[in-house]
Amino acid sequence: MGIIYFTEGAIMNLEDFAKRLPKNFTEQEFVDLMNQVIDLKRIVDLPTAERSALFNGVQYLVDFIMLAQEANGELHTHEGHPVVDYGGPFIPHVLVRPEGVEMDRAALETFGVGEADKYFGDE
C-alpha cells in the first residue's frame, strides 16, 4: 500500500496507523494517531466536493476491508446478522445518535473523545 496523504503535513499513512495503534488504546491515543494521518480539524472546513470525495474514499476502504474480512472468515454475526466491530471514539452523527437527541457540534472539537459517555453512560 502506498502512502496516502489527505492533507499537507500528514506524517503517517493508514497502514502505519494500523501497525502503530496499541492493542488496548485509549480514545485519545486513537485520535492522536489519526491526526498523524489526516488533520481532523480541516475536515470540517473542506469544500463540500472535497469532503464528499474524502467520504467516498473512506467508504470504499470500509467496503473493501469488510470484503477482505468476509473472504478471510473474520466477520462476526449476532442472531444471523453481520456485526461490524469498531473500537474508536463514538461520533454521534445522524445515523447513530439516539432517536430524539439533537445534534451537538462538540464532537467536532473533541473528535469523539468522551462522547459515548454523554449518550450511553458507563455501559
- Beta strands, E only, the chain: 76-78, 81-83
Q: Which of 7, 65, 57, 2 is nearest to 35 (CA)?
A: 7
68, 1 contact by CB (below 8 A): no
Name residue, grid cell 474480512.
Answer: 69
Statement: residue 61 has pLDDT above 80: yes
Amino acid 107 reads A
Close Cβ partners of 55 (under 8 Å, ≥ 6 residues apart):
none
Mean per-residue pLDDT, 116-123: 80
Q: Cα 70 vs. chain centroid, distance in angstroms? A: 20
Query: Does residue 22 or residue 123 have the better pLDDT?
Result: 22
pTM: 0.82
- Closest by Cα among 108, 92, 97 to 44: 108
Set of cell numbers at residue 120: 450511553
* pLDDT category of residue 57 using cuts at 50, 70 and 90: very high
Residue 7 has pLDDT above 60, yes or no: no
